[in-house]
Structure 1
Amino acid sequence: MTLCVIPARGGSKRIPRKNIRPFLGRPMIAWSIAAAQEAGVFDRIVVSTDDPEIADCARAEGAEVPFVRAAELSDDTTPTVPVIADAIAQVSVPPDTPVCCLYATAPFVTAAALKDGLSLLNDEHARSVVSVTSYPFPIQRALSRDDDGRIAMVDPGLMQTRSQDLPERWHDAGQFYWASAGVWASGGGMFDTGAHGLVLPRHRVQDIDTEEDWQRAEFMMQALQAAEG
């Protein structure tokens, strides 16, 4: 048994109706559902939502919506882990079941990456697997900027250090996380000891929280589609 849970609440604020807004002609959530289906590793693809319109859209794309997410798990401050733990409890799977949390706003996710995440979880006996990508510029040379526009190095001691001499750093790609049902239910974090990072190329990672992000993501996807023929 392998479970995919796609959390998709209805009350997104910065981009209203983000989870089902058309992204290059398809509801945003449809991209994630399609990647999960193509991966061929999931026995069930379940959408956790409090919103009837999102539920209808998810079902139309071939996902299950077997329950309505409770209101207390549907506000904009609710963390991801309790939402996934609730879904696991609702569908009742054994603690050793591999469970993937796949975000509804991850149009760049690929079936191959989802499969690689499951392989990494199993082969490395990882506590969790997090999709990550590298920063495009060394974060050690970050600048601060005050309200008057004045800038300063966060770490002035690195002023003369060449970029290529600084170690690479990574960040959460915001696409998916793998862990066993038991780990999700324990309430721990995905970055606790034993977590592994599955590296994604930067051209397949884009956070989508603002209108500018959305437009950039569509440009990126159009370029990818053109390159891939």
Structure 2
Amino acid sequence: MKLAIIPARGGSKRIPNKNIRDFVGKPLVAYSIEVAKASGLFDKIVVTTDNQEVADIALEYGAEVPFIRPPELSNDVIGTRPVTNHAIRYVSEHFEKPEFCCCIYATAPFLQAEYLKQGLQKLRLNSDKGFAYSVTSFPFPIQRALFLKDNYATPSFPEDITKRSQDLEEAYHDAGQFYWGRTDDYLSSKRIFSEHGIPIVLPRHLVQDIDTQEDWDRAELMYKAYVLDQTAKTVAMHDVA
């Protein structure tokens, strides 16, 4: 069995009701549910939430909400791994133990089914690995990062600040979209961002963190400019054919 777990807490301080706020015509969490369904990869798609309104919307878009997340897993400081593991244990106890689990963030409207499939495929082909997760490259060399202090800036990597961009190693960061894992590895102490994981590289135009209002505005502009435009082009091609 393959299980999708979508954490979607009700509270959000910086963007109120972020997970169910309207994003280009649909609640934000709906995009993650829909891409999980469209991928055809999952036997169960479970939304883990502490909020009944989130649960109702998740059910409306075709996910399952077999439990309401306990308070100790619903505060501002709890990490994703304990929440994911709680859902894995619940499903294993009440339904069936999954072979593979995939945590999909509720704030991932750019997620594409092809990358979910690629993650599972690579995990299956590499039996020594426990996880596969999304990453993307930084748009600017991190070796030229600056720290601002008072009225001046100091380089984070003084030895690299004058080097040419092409001479600096490209760096990547967590894309915040999906995290595949073998169930036993998820429930172990193995770290995802380690030798146990396989990074799946996404193009930068399909990645946008959504933590502030500025992030939200940028994400909507990106979605309208790329995803909706691509959809319109596909429809037009089919009409011509």
TM over 0.5: yes
Matches within 5 A, 1:130-141: 130-141=133-144
Give CA-to-partner distance per residue, 1:189-219, whole Å, 9 cap, x none.
2113221100000000000000000000000
Question: Given the alignment, which residue of 149, 154, 157 partners 1:155?
Answer: 157
Structure 1, 152-161 or 129-138: larger mean CA deviation: 152-161
- Find the counterpart in structure 1 of residue 203 from structure 2: 201
Identical amino acids, percent of aligned pairs: 52
Query: Across the two proteins, how many residue pairs are aligned to each other?
Result: 227
Secondary structure of the structure 2 residue equivalent to 1:157: coil
- Find the counterpart in structure 2 of residue 33 from structure 1: 33
* TM-score normalized with structure 2 length: 0.91
2-side partners of 1:215 and 1:49: how far apart? 25
1-side partners of 2:67 and 2:189: how far apart? 21
2-side partners of 1:84 and 1:53: how far apart? 20
Question: Given the alignment, which residue of 212, 215, 218 partners 1:216?
Answer: 218
Residue 23 (structure 1) aligned with residue 26 (structure 2)? no
List runs of 5+ in structure 2 lacking aligned partners. Answer: 233-241
Residue 58 (structure 1) aligned with residue 61 (structure 2)? no
2-side partners of 1:187 and 1:37: how far apart? 29
How far residue 188 of structure 1 moved from its aligned partner, in angstroms, is: 3.4
Residue 88 (structure 1) aligned with residue 75 (structure 2)? no
Question: Given the alignment, which residue of 108, 111, 116 partners 1:109?
Answer: 111
1-side partners of 2:85 and 2:161: how far apart? 45
Report the residue type matching 2:213 in the other structure: E
Give CA-to-partner distance per residue, 1:115-144, whole Å, 9 cap, x none.
111111111222111100000111011111
Structure 1, 151-160 or 173-182: larger mean CA deviation: 151-160
1-side partners of 2:190 and 2:77: how far apart? 17
How far residue 20 of structure 1 moved from its aligned partner, in angstroms, is: 0.3
Question: Given the alignment, which residue of 131, 137, 153 partners 1:128?
Answer: 131
Q: Is the 8 A contact 2:147 2:155 kept in 1?
A: yes
- Find the counterpart in structure 1 of residue 67 from structure 2: 67
What stretches of structure 1 move > 2 A for 4+ residues in a row? Answer: none
Secondary structure of the structure 1 residue equivalent to 2:19: coil
Structure 1, 33-42 or 184-193: larger mean CA deviation: 184-193
Cα RMSD over matched residues? Answer: 1.1
How far residue 227 of structure 1 moved from its aligned partner, in angstroms, is: 4.0
* TM-score normalized with structure 1 length: 0.96
Q: Is the 8 A contact 1:48 1:69 kept in 2?
A: yes
